[in-house]
Amino acid sequence: MRAAQKSIMALALCAAFQAAAQDVNGQTAPTYREDGNDTEKKAPVRIDPGEKRPADQFRMDVLGRPLTIGGRYELEPRYFQDRDLDPTKPGDTVNVSQDFQLEFYYPWSSSLSAFLQASAFYNPEIYAEERNRHDESYLELDQAWLFASRILDTGFSLQLGRQRYSEKRQWWWNERLDAVRLYFVHGEILGEISVAEEFSSKRTDLGHTAPLHKDVLRVFGDLVWQWSEKQNLTLFFMSQFDGSGRERDGDVVWHERRDKSDADLTWVGGRAMGKFKLASGYKFGYWLDTAVVTGHETLIDFDAVNNRQDRAGTHSTHSVLGWGLDTGITWYTKLPLEPYFTLGYAYGSGNSKNGTETGFRQTGVHDNKIKLGGSQRFRYYGELFRPELANLEITTAAIGFPLSEDSAVDLLFHHYRQADPSDSVRDGRIKADPTGVSGDLGEELDLVISLDEWKHFQVQLTGAVFRAGNAYGDLSGNTSAMVDLKIKYIF
């Protein structure tokens, strides 16, 4: 399988340069899906779909072609309180992260372009209530790719290298992966298929590939039918083949290299999404995501040796079979201040067997972020609790107020309940574990203020409070809180 992938990438690279040599009679880059405000659209190729870029980015002439240089600086102070849900224990933290990103875009011809994006990240912990402060800093290669458009004057286009994958709701994927991606456009049908595997660490502070990606080959894609101007149907699929080595019983590994799960899984699903207006003038938006996952997984237990190392223990293998859905509707009113109301429901099956979750889980490269009224994304499953949709039922009610075309205020309420009571929550921010007796995890209230009124700046302020339910036993009724401020300067 690995040899086949390398052969595919070699052929893809040859095809890209062949397309560049032909120059496609001076045509511009092909059309493919873009992360628009209303629905998935056909539009000229964009460097990074969904990200704001000013029209006056710096350009210089290189060999008769414009080299575009841009980037951003992001400052993000963040405060967490009582993530362990126990106010008697110290655990509050304050971080002030900084992220400087620089990028270069160069069209070698009208059919072949290149893009390079790298960043420097610094995240000092300026306050830690229970321990010594921890700082994090590294350089990272975010993207580096070649794009060949309309190969041999067809509807096929090719992208090769480290590139960003992102879809409208990020329920399936939002990740940067080393991959070869083939696009196809025919009328109102848009499709793509990719083969991806990480070849090395892209961060200077890590000498290894993250366990989530190490020796994991992914084959995935989607097919979109845009059946009306603002409505579409999409089919998704992903298969992952985990070829990473498995630790033996007694092996000692660094904490950050623990690979607790080796899984060969396949996801298949679909989405209906769009906006429509009634004859009365009322406007509605809707979505429905569904998916089924199947395969096999091996879990490995680890015990701490010290604060940096762990020892591998026993392992167990089981089948995985589950299903998930996420659906909802938004009503855009004409009431004073033009509020919009949203109701949402999400479910991921549990199928717990002796404390092991064998049911639905998301792809692992998802992000669960969306734009509602403004131009900036936020987490629609909760900014603080932030769970993966696995063995979980989430009910959401929200109200939002547009401040302008690109700015909005959103207030969201989430209620969480496990499908099968369990003593763990998959990939959540709350550090406390439920007891496994009750499925009532609790509720969260989020306030998100997104401001995008300036040419080069974006600001987003988020506040969230989580209240523990009966699933947390003696900790039920306790709360955790967070405040997050993002300030972006884009150039």
The rounded distance, in Å, linking the Cα atoms of 443 and 394 is 9
Q: Which pTM value belongs to this model? A: 0.89
Continuous H helices in 257-413: none
State the pLDDT confidence band at 11, using cuts at 50, 70 and 90. very low
- Six token digits for residue 308: 């940096």
- Tell me how far apart the alpha carbons of residues 452 and 246 are, in angstroms, rounded to a whole number: 47
- 13 compared with 321, residue with greater pLDDT: 321
The domain limits of the chain are: 2-490
Is 60 in contact with 66 (CB distance < 8 Å)? yes
Contact 19, 158 (CB under 8 A): yes
The pLDDT of residue 320 is 93
pLDDT reported for residue 24: 33
Residue 220 in this model has a pLDDT that exceeds 80:
yes
User: pLDDT over 70 for what percent of the chain?
Assistant: 89
Cα 167 from Cα 488, distance rounded (Å): 22
The answer on pLDDT for 6 being more than 60 is no
User: What pLDDT score does 225 carry?
Assistant: 96
Q: Classify residue 12 by its DSSP letter.
A: H
Tokens found for residue 486 = 């993002």
pLDDT digits (tens, 9 = 90+) for 313-351: 778 888 999 999 999 999 999 999 999 999 999 999 997
Q: What angle do CA 439, 445, 449 make, to 5 degrees?
A: 150
The pLDDT value recorded for residue 49 is 57
Residue of 238, 346, 219 lying closest to 292 (CA atoms): 238
Q: What is the DSSP string of 463-477?
A: EEEEEE-GGGGGGTT
User: 3-state DSSP call for residue 9?
Assistant: helix
Long-range contact set of residues 135-142: C-beta below 8 Å, sequence gap at least 24? 136/205, 137/205, 138/203, 138/204, 138/205, 138/206, 139/203, 139/204, 140/202, 140/203, 140/204, 141/117, 141/202, 142/101, 142/117, 142/118, 142/176, 142/202
Closest CA to 418 of 396, 389, 377, 453: 389
pLDDT at 17: 42
Nearest to 357 by CA among 411, 273, 289, 434: 434
Taking 3-state DSSP, the helix, strand and coil percentages for the chain, each rounded to the nearest 5, stand at 10, 55, 35
Tell me what pLDDT residue 309 has: 79
When pLDDT is averaged across residues 57-77 and rounded to a whole number, the result is: 96
- pLDDT, one tens digit per residue, over 201-219 is 889 988 788 888 889 999 9
pLDDT reported for residue 470: 98
pLDDT of 270 above 60 = yes
For residues 249-272, give the mean pLDDT.
Answer: 86
Least trusted range by pLDDT, from 44-58, 153-167, 183-197, 389-403: 44-58
Cβ proximity of 366 and 170 under 8 Å: yes
Are the C-beta atoms of residues 95 and 125 closer than 8 Å to each other?
A: yes
Q: Residue length, the chain?
A: 491
Residue 305 pLDDT > 90: no
- Assess whether pLDDT exceeds 60 at residue 296: yes
DSSP secondary structure code for residue 30 in this structure: P
Total Cβ atoms within 10 A of residue 388: 19
- How far is it, in rounded angstroms, from Cα 258 to Cα 301? 10
pLDDT at 47: 59
Sign of CA dihedral 126, 130, 131, 134: negative
Q: What is the mean pLDDT of residues 40-62?
A: 70
Pairing state of beta strands 352-353 and 174-186?
Answer: unpaired
> Left if phi > 0, otherwise alpha if psi is -120 to 50, otherwise beta: which for 205?
alpha
Q: Which of 255, 168, 158 is nearest to 210 (CA)?
A: 255
Could you give the CA distance from residue 20 to residue 150 in angstroms, rounded to a whole number? 10
| pLDDT averaged over every residue in the chain | 88
**Percent of the chain predicted with pLDDT > 90:** 69
pLDDT, tens digit, for every residue of 157-205? 999 999 999 999 999 999 999 999 999 999 889 999 999 999 888 899 8
**DSSP 3-state assignment of 254?**
strand
The domain 2-490 is placed in CATH, from the list 2.40.70.10, 2.40.160.100, 2.40.100.10, 1.10.645.10, at: 2.40.160.100
Whose CA is closest to 122, among 111, 102, 109, 136?
Answer: 136
Q: Is the pLDDT of residue 41 over 60?
A: no
Predicted confidence band at 21 (pLDDT cuts at 50, 70, 90)?
Answer: very low
pLDDT by residue (tens digit) across 82-137? 999 999 999 899 999 999 999 999 999 989 999 999 999 999 999 998 777 789 99
Check if the beta carbon of residue 33 is closer than 8 Å to that of residue 41: yes
Please count the CA atoms within 13 angstroms of the CA of 344 that sit on its side-chain side.
27
Residue 166 pairs with which residues in a beta bridge? Answer: 174
463/470 Cα distance (integer angstroms) = 24
Assess whether pLDDT exceeds 50 at residue 282: yes
Look at residue 9 and tell me whether its pLDDT is greater than 50.
Answer: no
Residue 202: per-residue pLDDT? 86
Q: What is the mean pLDDT of residues 218-237?
A: 95
321 in Cβ contact with 363 (< 8 Å)? no
Taking the C-alpha atoms of residue 111 and residue 21, their distance in angstroms, rounded to an integer, is: 9
Model confidence pLDDT, tens digit, residues 453-467: 999 999 999 999 999
What mean pLDDT is predicted for residues 5-14? 46
- Distance (Å, rounded) from C-alpha 340 to C-alpha 336? 11
**pLDDT surpasses 60 at 284:** yes
Per-residue pLDDT reduced to its tens digit, 358-369: 899 999 999 999
Q: Give Rg (Cα) of the chain.
A: 23
- Higher per-residue pLDDT: 257 or 320: 320
